[in-house]
Amino acid sequence: MRIRTAAPLALVATTALAGSLLLAAPASAAKHRGGVHLGKIQYDSPGKDTRSNASLKAEWVEIHNNTRSKFQLKGYKLKDNTGYTYTFGSYNISPGKTVRVHTGRGTAAPGHLYWNRGSYVWNNTGDKARLIKPSGALLDSCSWTKSGNGVKNCH
């Protein structure tokens, strides 16, 4: 009789232990988000907000292509809560690659685009970045509050 009850108890204990280990898995074990999406945002450029071009270029949004083919951004828009809007010209993001859209002035280069603004876009106290399709539909969004170090990992 004891042998019969010991086996089910051992099975229950093993199942409970396995379940608790699965629940304790680190967040980094989560699968990386698929598709084209907002990746990381530097909403508070390092140092003082001087409105210098160097400071403005240090404020940026990354868009990541986690697909197996090139993705054309032409006509897509990047918007904040205030309504500031960056509209993409012809730009392909290769599979697995990221493009960083800097607020300040600069010359487009692989992986880097420039909004060419003379003032900040992303509010340090909280804001929401939106990636909008040419049709006007929302593709992705990412929001933050003042907490943190000025960088938001969106996904």
**pLDDT tens-digit readout, 65-105:** 999 999 999 999 999 999 999 999 999 999 999 999 999 99
Topology of domain 35-153, per CATH?
Immunoglobulin-like (2.60.40)
In this prediction, residues 5-15 reach a mean pLDDT of 43
Give the pLDDT score at 89: 97
pLDDT at 34: 77
Mean pLDDT of the chain: 84
Considering the chain, what percentage of its residues have pLDDT values greater than 70? 79
CB half-sphere exposure, 19, CA atoms < 13 A: 6
Non-local (6+) Cβ contacts of 35 within 8 A are: 66, 67
Q: What share of the chain is helix, strand, coil (3-state, %, to 5)?
A: 20, 35, 45
For residue 32, what pLDDT is reported?
A: 53
Structure tokens at 73: 């951004």
Select from 64, 74, 94, 63 the least CA-distant residue to 135: 74
- CA 98, 132, 71, 73 torsion: positive or negative? negative
pLDDT tens-digit readout, 124-142: 999 999 999 999 999 999 9
Give yes or no for residue 54 having a pLDDT over 90.
yes
**DSSP-derived pairing of the beta strands 112-114 and 98-102:** parallel
Average pLDDT of the residues in 25-53: 78
Map out the domains of the chain as residue ranges: 35-153
Tell me the C-alpha distance between 55 and 104, whole Å: 8
16 against 76, higher pLDDT: 76
